[in-house]
Each structure stands twice: as C-alpha cells, then as structure tokens.
Amino acid sequence: MKRLLFLLLIFSILIMGCTAPKVTPEPEYPIIHGGGHYQVYFHEWAMCSCPSCPKFPEGTYWFNYNGLIFLIGEPVKKPIEVYGECPRDYIEVYF
C-alpha cells in the first residue's frame, strides 16, 4: 500500500511539473512592436519542460508583449547595441 501511494505521489509530481506554453494564433502579417524585449539563447531551448515541447535554435529573439516571438539573428551579448532598441527585421516567427 505504501509503495502504491509513493508511486502515485511521484506520478502526480511528474504530471504537474510539465507545463505547456499558451499558444496564440499568429496574425496574417506578424509585426514587431516596440513593446517587447530581447532574449538571447546560446544553445537550443524550449518554452516548457515537456518532452513534446518544440525546441528552438540558439539565437537572439524578440518577445512581443502580445505573445509573438521573433528570431532576429545570431546570439549576441548586447542585442540593443547590435539590433537597436526595437528590431526592424526578423528571420522567423514563432507562435
């Protein structure tokens, strides 16, 4: 009985630890808004801890506050100096 309870506890913890990101529909013409921030990843990354979560390549990303994510370019240490306060162009859009 104790083993069963222990297994149920472990299973519950594993399920609660896996959170999927909220997916927003992509607009027809994605726009980079001034309301956002840079995020730089020097390795592959994911938005959640689930094994089924999509992996994104390393790079410099712009996160709009409306939920869109733009891959801007190569990872850099000071993105504002390289790409400006708000980027003008992007390589790919996510979400």
Does this model's pTM top 0.95? My answer is no
**16 domain-assigned:** no
**32 domain-assigned:** yes
pLDDT digits (tens, 9 = 90+) for 3-56: 766 666 666 666 666 665 566 555 567 899 888 999 999 999 999 988 889 999
The residue range of the domain holding 52 is 21-94
Calpha distance 30→76 (Å, rounded): 23
Report the DSSP beta bridge partners of residue 69: 63, 94
Q: pLDDT-based confidence at 74, cuts 50/70/90?
A: very high
**1 domain-assigned:** no
**9 domain-assigned:** no
Calpha distance 71→50 (Å, rounded): 22
**8 domain-assigned:** no
